Structure 1
Amino acid sequence: MSVVGIGADGWPGLPETSRSVLRAAEAVVGGPRQLALLPAGECAAERVPWPSPLRPAVPGLLARYAGRRLAVLASGDPMFYGIGRTLTEIAGPAAVEVLPHPSALSYACARLGWPVEETEVVTLVGRPADRLAAALHDGRRVLVLSAGADTPAEVAELLTERGFGPSRLTVLEQLGAENETAYQGVAEDWSRAPGDPLNVIAVDCRRAPDALRLGAVPGLPDAAYENDGQLTKRHVRAATLAALAPAPGELLWDIGGGSGSIGVEWLRTHPSCRAYAVERDPGRAERIGRNAARLGVPHLTVVTGPAPDVLAELPTPDAVFIGGGLTAPGLLDACWDALPAGGRLVANTVTLESEALLATWYRRHGGELVKLAVAHAVPVGGFTGWRQAMPVTQWSVTKNDETGAERR
């Protein structure tokens, strides 16, 4: 099977190697737009549109054309948010020959004079626009892979809502084709009608002066979260994420989600991270979803129900955070048993009863038991004094194969 990248310029833009593969193919699979780019006189193969939904249909499609010369068309570079990834995951890299074409990222950066390695990419193809919010930082350049003609207006609206209305947008349509066009505007003043559905959007990020500043590391301002008081406060949150130590691709259970801040900031550390927030209160569960969407991680999965009852159906975690319900019967045991070797568990509490429980588990499994105390400067008459917040007891531990815990 050969996967051939093709651009908006169609057959004339293909190198001879790609043309030869398509001429020799007995069947060509692709989207209707890509298939329409092949001239009948050059490519006589059977043309097969992709079924929908695509991924579940791939094994059957490959079996149907087994033993025949099969080519697959992809937009641009098949391994850049393209079908190449799906095919190599299902059929294996050895079964797939990939012939790339310049990607939308390469074309756009070439037109704009942006260094590719310094340009962040966010795809909104089949994904909610809220994902863009996590990439917004003053002065950064972001390339958005568009889902269609309405995406530029949707991006402009999101930028304005998130405090980045002054950002400059450049919409590049039909990149690489003879009818390639581009137009610009400012997000908060965007009034362009929908244009060509084949477009990418370049965002030169500019934060409004009065917008809340959100950094790239854990410990976002408390004001970034809608909450009813059930919120792990900023300084404790930063210490908690440091103990959880998220790494790319890892999965977190956030037990007693509250406002969702731990799960949200876990996901913001890397696009490939995953998280489940478990919250028994339906109102708070809905609030977690709103916070996740607003802060750019709408893929946070919210599970509404009591722990440990709902934990059995969740995928194996790399780390578990318990921010509430520590004294629920069987909760700590269920979380500990679910962790694989090398998994981390972090639990926070402000009550004496839960602190005693953590002390017992600390004696049994080791790890690190600390007390986090934060004081804030407040007016005292005409002077300034310290107001102590409730101290937080935190237990963190790494599970291993031999002893069940890693003593530090």
Structure 2
Amino acid sequence: MIKAWLHVIGIGEDGFEGLGAAALEDVRHAEVLVGGARHLEKVPAELSVERVSWGKNFAATAARLEDYRGKRVVVLASGDPLDYGAGSLLIRHFGADAVSVVPAPGSISLACARMGWSRPDVQVVTVHGRALENLNRYLTPGGRLVVLARDGDTPKEIAGLLCARGFGPSALTVLEHLGGGDEARLDGVAETWSHRRARDLNVVAIECRAGPSGEYFSRVPGLPDAAFESDGQLTKREVRAVAMALLGPLPGETMWDVGAGSGSLAIEWMRQGQSQGQSLSAVAVECDPTRCDMIRANAVRLGTPRLKIELGRAPFVLDELNGAPDAVFVGGGVSHDGVLAACWSRLRPGGRLVASAVTLAGEAALTTFQNAHGGELVRLGVERATPVGPDGPLAFQPKRTVALYKGVKS
């Protein structure tokens, strides 16, 4: 077992005096002290130790830390270093055996304490270095969100987003410098938010309340077709729900949506992930630039702005994608030469390929592929009640049947 040489200490706004006995011991015996300028300033100047400022480029800083291997290196980080903090990055880079962590109460637990909210009942979302529209995925009546802000403008921007989504009645609380001597709080409602610019170090607590025009969707697969902007190239709701069940997203996985159309499968895939840790990623592959624009708009509106969009025609464009996906959905072009084979070859072992077809040529391609690689085929038929004639009674009308293939690569 490797003896830990990197000691990551969580430090709060109460500074050096707020550290516990174990943390104080680590800091006082450090040979090298690493941290942001704000953290290093909290350590008394009379403590004689080499100080290294934590740079913005993690790779460069990590390489520099390698030079200190063998010395007692202490890294100061905000609150709980394993909750959106430097601790997770260092463990990923150096390994868990090389890193010890002493956490302090972080901004998330402190925010919940100030609000009187149970931590497991709160959805945490970060917009620090990420798009504000990530919030869209979590807006539901009665939902409680703790948002890690980017800067002092974030609360006003959040209020604007909530109003635009019909959540203007939502209660907002801005908590500044949590745990410090100058901690402050601003309370208000999104639609009447008129407070001063917040201080840059802040957390925003939101109690979501929908107005009459509030727009929100379940995270269960099978969003209404109307949730997506589309030119008709859209995997319909019932088929999408079954396809998502066949794809079976697992924490941390990546999916390619090939022939993405409106991007509905990729977006539904990403909506299954959490904002913390084990999020899901996806790449939407589409050859039509106009549809790529629609995919981008749909992703922002439905809270998955990190969806990657690749313009190009399969199978050729797949050569430009890095890595081996955990799952691939082929929603268009299954009968085109080489598409299914290229997707299958790129899958990691154990990865899932799901493909749909609505034409005889597409079904033939899926049947041929199943004969070669195994897997399962199912044909779905959906009937919807629609009026018969301009003013006629409702009657079930069958929609075009869809064939779905699923194969697992050995």
What is the letter of the counterpart of residue 296 of structure 1? G
Is the counterpart of residue 136 in structure 1 residue 143 in structure 2? Answer: no
Distance in structure 2 (CA, Å) of the matches to 1:102 and 1:72:
16
Q: Partner amino acid for 2:339? A: L
Query: What SS does structure 2 have at the residue aligned with 1:346?
Result: strand
Higher mean C-alpha displacement, 324-333 vs 185-194: 185-194
Aligned to 1:59: 62
Give the letter aligned to residue 291 of structure 1: N
In the aligned structure 2, how far is the partner of 1:134 from the partner of 1:344? 25
User: Do the aligned partners of 2:137 and 2:302 also contact (CA within 8 Å) in 1?
Assistant: yes
Q: How far apart are 1:382 and its partner, in Å?
A: 3.9
Residue 206 (str. 1) matches residue 206 (str. 2):
no
Counterpart-to-counterpart distance in 2, 1:211 and 1:388: 33
Alignment partners' CA distance in 1, 2:198 and 2:43: 24
- Aligned equivalent of 1:292: 299
CA deviation vs aligned residue, 1:255-313 (integer Å, no higher than 9, x gap): 00111000000011113111111001112112212211221111111111111111123
2:210 partner amino acid: R
Question: Which whole-Å CA distance do the structure 2 matches of 1:368 and 1:63 have between them?
Answer: 50
Q: Give yes or no for contact 1:241–1:266 (8 Å, CA) kept in 2.
A: yes
Counterpart of 1:244 (choices 223, 247, 251) is 247
Per the TM alignment, residue 108 of structure 1 is displaced from its structure 2 partner at its CA by 1.0
Q: Which of 363, 382, 385 pairs up with 1:374?
A: 382
Deviation (angstroms), 1:254: 0.4
1:129-278 pair list within 5 angstroms: 129-271=132-274, 272-278=279-285
- Confirm whether residue 99 of structure 1 aligns to residue 109 of structure 2: no
For the 8 Å contact 2:139–2:216, the answer to whether it is kept is: no
Alignment partner, residue 404 of structure 1: none
**C-alpha separation in 2, matches of 1:369 and 1:66:** 55
Q: Which amino acid aligns with 1:201?
A: V
Query: Which residue is equivalent to 1:122?
Result: 125
Q: 2:40 aligns with which of 35, 39, 54?
A: 35
Matched, 1:6 2:20: no
Larger mean CA deviation between 321-330 and 353-362 belongs to 353-362
Tell me the TM-score normalized by structure 2: 0.93
Alignment of 1:323-342 (within 5 A): 323-342=331-350
Q: State the Cα RMSD in Å.
A: 1.5
**Number of equivalent positions:** 398
Q: Residue 114 of structure 2 is aligned with which of 102, 111, 129? A: 111
The question of whether the paired residues in 2 share the 8 Å contact of 1:318 and 1:340 is answered with yes
- C-alpha displacement at 1:8, in angstroms? 0.8
**Aligned residues of 2:355 and 2:406 also touching (Cα < 8 A):** yes
Give the deviation of 1:323 after TM superposition.
0.4
Measure the CA separation in 2 of the matches of 1:117 and 1:125.
21
CA positional deviation for 1:39? 1.9
For the residue of structure 2 that corresponds to 1:378, the secondary structure is strand
Between the aligned partners of 2:70 and 2:100, the Cα distance in structure 1 is: 15
Q: Does the residue aligned with 2:316 lie in a helix, a strand or coil?
A: coil
User: Does the aligned pair in 1 maintain the 2:257–2:283 contact within 8 Å?
Assistant: yes
Alignment of 1:302 with 2:309, yes or no, is yes
Does the 8 Å contact 2:254/2:327 carry over to 1?
A: yes
What is the TM-score with the length of structure 1 in the denominator?
A: 0.94
Q: Name the CA distance, whole Å, in 1 between partners of 2:395 and 2:348.
A: 46
Structure 2 SS opposite 1:376: strand
- In 2 relative to 1, CA 213–388 (structure 1 residues): closer, same or farther, beyond 3 Å? farther
CA distance in 2, matches of 1:102, 1:59: 25
Partner secondary structure for residue 310 of structure 1: helix
Does structure 1 retain, via aligned residues, the 8 Å contact 2:258–2:284? yes
The aligned counterpart of 1:387 is: 397
AA paired with 1:52?
Answer: K
- Identity across the alignment (%): 49
Give the superposition deviation at 1:221. 1.4
| Aligned-partner Cα distance in 2 for 1:82–1:236 | 40
Paired residues of 2:81 and 2:88 also in contact (CA < 8 A): yes
Q: Could you tell me whether the CA contact under 8 Å between 1:3 and 1:72 is conserved in 2? A: yes
Matches for 1:346-385 after TM superposition, within 5 Å: 346-380=354-388, 381-385=391-395
- Structure 2 stretches lacking a partner, 5+ long: 1-5
Matched residue type, 2:396:
W
Moved more, 91-100 or 207-216: 207-216
User: Could you tell me how far apart the structure 2 residues matched to 1:68 and 1:366 are?
Assistant: 56
Amino acid at match of 1:367: G
Name 1:405's counterpart in structure 2.
none
Contact 1:170 1:203 (8 Å CA) reproduced: yes
In the aligned structure 1, how far is the partner of 2:398 from the partner of 2:378? 17
Moved over 4 A (4+): none
**Does the Cα contact within 8 Å between 1:212 and 1:224 map onto a contact in 2?**
no
Partners of 2:73 and 2:14 in 1: how far apart?
A: 22
Letter of the 1:101 counterpart: A
Indicate the SS of the match to 1:67: coil
- Alpha-carbon distance in structure 1 between the residues aligned to 2:257 and 2:384: 27
Looking at structure 2, the residues matched to 243 and 171 of structure 1 have their Cα atoms a distance apart, in angstroms, of: 42
Tell me the amino acid that sits aligned with residue 27 of structure 2.
Answer: L
- Tell me the residue number matched to 2:84: 81
